[in-house]
Structure formats: structure tokens, C-alpha cells
Amino acid sequence: MKMKNFAVIGLGRFGAAIARFLEKEGGEVLAIDINPEIVRELEHDYTSVVEADATDIETLSNLGVGDVDAAIVSIGTSMEAGIFITLLLKELKVPLIVAKVRSKLHEKVLKKVGVNLVVYPEEDAAQHLAKKLYWPGYSELEMTTGLSMVEIRAPKSFIGKTVAKLKLREKYKANVVAIKRKNPIIDENEQTDYEEKIIAPPVAEEKFEAGDSIVLVCSDDKVDKFKDMK
Amino acid sequence: MNSKDKIQIHIDKGKFYFSSKKYEEAIKEFKNALSNDKDNAEVLYSLAVSYETNSDYDLAKEAYQKVLLIEPEHELARSHLEKMLEK
């Protein structure tokens, strides 16, 4: 299911950027910051930007934060404020909480209080730059030609069918670059688990199996079609 | 045969089916085991993994969340759930 409603708390460089991207992708974004100057600066950039104290549960509740699909906590200055806000978001039953973190300790603490996902913006940016330096063509392809490389879960309707039979290239102008397959294992502790095997590039006769993920290159305007397939 | 043995048989059968990629059958066995021991985090975890490998992602998510409610320190369940939420 596609997420539509987001709250972004803390509008520093990272928070402001994520709010802008989410809105560009068609999401409804409620952007919140405690600093009136930041809010004033950004008020023309987003549909909904408010000056508010996110450490107050009543304020969050009145703003409708309890109804969002996901909240992004991007507080750079105070680790304590981030932890407290996460607790309030949990209390408001926000289904997905994402937080910007700076250290492993910070990550550990936030996960303990209920953050579902963490991001290390500096580390992610560094990784992206390293990739770009080693493989200059990668991001250029993504940015300039309207093509995206995406990983999607194989819809149930694909299972048991071959790559050739699905005719993805003809129907959706999409090329299957790789299939990520889950191979069931029982680990040393007698636990059920799986190992991921990458089949790249798959042959036309390769049949999709339950649990597969597909890496596709396809035009931007067709990507959503795959995301909504059952 | 006492009920503990019966539960163990369902778990063993479930694991056998799981490793043979017969996920529907594995799910049935793990559910049977849980019907006699509903808060068994290990069986719930096996059920969650079976749902995930069978492309039943919503059910898998729910089952991983249940494991974490019972056993908040279950690192495998946490990492599987996080990986699922990323997609």
C-alpha cells in the first residue's frame, strides 16, 4: 500500500529536503518546526508548514499527527527532544516512525523507544558519492533519462510464470535486471530463516517464486504500475 | 503423547515443509502449534518468516510485530521487520 500522509518534524537541511521530496512525489506533508524564522523562510515551499512545539502531545494531536502514515523525526540539536517526540508519536499510534541519527548509540536508544527506521544522512550521502565516483554513469542515467532502477516485491500474480511469459518489456517497457530469491534455511540455532540469492541477469525461462523481489529498470511513468500490482 | 510433544511435532513438520519451500503447509503446521501455545515467540517467528517467503507481507509484518511484543529483544524479528518496512 502506498503511503500518502507524512509529518516531518524538524526542518533543518535534511528535514526540509525530505519534506520537499515527499511533496514532489505526491504526498501530503505536514512540516513542523519550533523555530519561527525557519518556518517563515519555508512557508512558501510547502503546502502545510507550521511553527509548533512537537514535544507537546496535545499540539501534535491537534495538528493531526496521529493520522499520518509515517512521521520523520529530524531533530539535529537535541537527542533528548528526538527521543521524547518519538515516545509521543508512539502514543499517537503513528504506524511508521523514521529518525535521523548521528551515532550507533543514538540509533540504539531510538530503536528501544520505538523508531522503526533510522537514517544516517551524512553516511548515506558519502556512500552515494563513492558510488558515483566509482561508477559515474549510474546517477546520470537516473537523473537525465526519466529511467529508474527500482526493487519491487514480485506480485503474487507473477509467481510460477517465466520472465518471458510476463512480457514486461512489451507491456511496461521494463527490463528485469535481477531477481532476489529467498532460499529457506534452518540456521545453527534450529531457527527458520532465509538467505537471499541474486539471479542476475535472469534468463527468459526463469520462473518467479514466492518471496521474490525484482530489480527493474523502467521509465519513471510506469514505476507506479508495478507498485500497485497484486 | 503429552501436549508439549504434539506441539513439537507440528513445529518439526513446519520446519520440514518450510525448508522444502512448501510454505502453505508450513504455515498450517506453525498455526497448529500456536493454537496450543499462542505466545510462543519462536513459533510465531517461524510463522512470520514463512509468511514473508510466501509473499504474504502484511501477515508477516503483523506476526513479526507480535513476536516483538512478546520478546522485545528478538533481534532476528526486528531486523526482518525493518527490512520489510524499507520496501
Summarize pLDDT for A44-65 with one digit per residue, the tens.
Answer: 887 899 999 999 999 999 999 9
> How close A43 comes to chain B (CA, Å)?
30
Are A45 and A150 in the same domain?
A: no
**Looking at beta carbons, which residues of chain A come within 8 Å of B11?**
none
Segment B29-66, tens digit of pLDDT:
999 999 989 999 999 999 999 999 999 999 999 999 99
Q: Count structural domains, chain A.
A: 2
pLDDT of residue A144: 46
Cβ neighbors of B41 (< 8 A, separation 6 or more) are: B67, B70, B71, B74, B77
* Cell numbers found for residue A88: 509521543
| Mean pLDDT for chain A overall | 87
B50, B54, B85 member nearest A192 (Cβ): B50
Segment A160-219, tens digit of pLDDT:
999 999 998 888 888 898 999 999 999 888 899 999 999 988 999 999 999 999 988 887
pLDDT of A5 higher than 90: yes
Segment A120-138, tens digit of pLDDT:
888 878 877 777 677 655 5
Are A37 and A104 in the same domain?
A: yes
* Cell numbers found for residue A50: 507550521
* CATH number, domain containing residue A108: 3.40.50.720
- Note whether residue A19 is domain-resident: yes
A117, A184, A186 member nearest B82 (Cβ): A117
- Note whether residue A104 is domain-resident: yes
ipTM over 0.90: no
| C-alpha closest to that of A8 among A126, A45, A223 | A45
pLDDT of A7 higher than 90: yes
* Cell numbers found for residue A9: 518534524
Fill in the DSSP letter of residue A43.
T
B23, B46, B49 member nearest A210 (Cβ): B23
| Mean pLDDT for chain B overall | 92
Partner B contacted by A184 (CB < 8 A): yes
- Note whether residue A197 is domain-resident: yes
Contact B41, B74 (CB under 8 A): yes
| CA A217 – CA A200 distance, rounded (Å) | 13
Which of A72, A101, A158, A192 has the most B C-beta neighbours within 10 Å, making it the best mutation to test the interface with B?
A192
pLDDT of residue B11: 95
Contact A73, A11 (CB under 8 A): no
Q: How far is CA A223 from the centre of its chain?
A: 15
Residue of A nearest to B77 (CA): A193
CB contact under 8 A, B57 and A159: no
**Looking at beta carbons, which residues of chain B come within 8 Å of A210?**
21, 23, 53-55
* CATH number, domain containing residue A208: 3.30.70.1450
B15, B26, B86 member nearest A117 (Cβ): B86
* Cell numbers found for residue A21: 521530496
Bond preceding residue A201 cis, omega within 30 of 0 = yes
- Note whether residue A129 is domain-resident: no
Q: Map out the domains of chain B with their CATH numbers.
A: 3-86 (1.25.40.10)
Which residues of B lie closer than 8 Å to A, measured between beta carbons?
14-15, 18-19, 21, 23, 26, 42, 45-46, 49-50, 52-55, 57, 76, 78, 81-82, 85-87
Q: Which residues of A24-55 are buried (b: 16+ CB within 10 A; e: fewer)?
A: eeebebbbbbbeeebbeebeeebeebeebebb
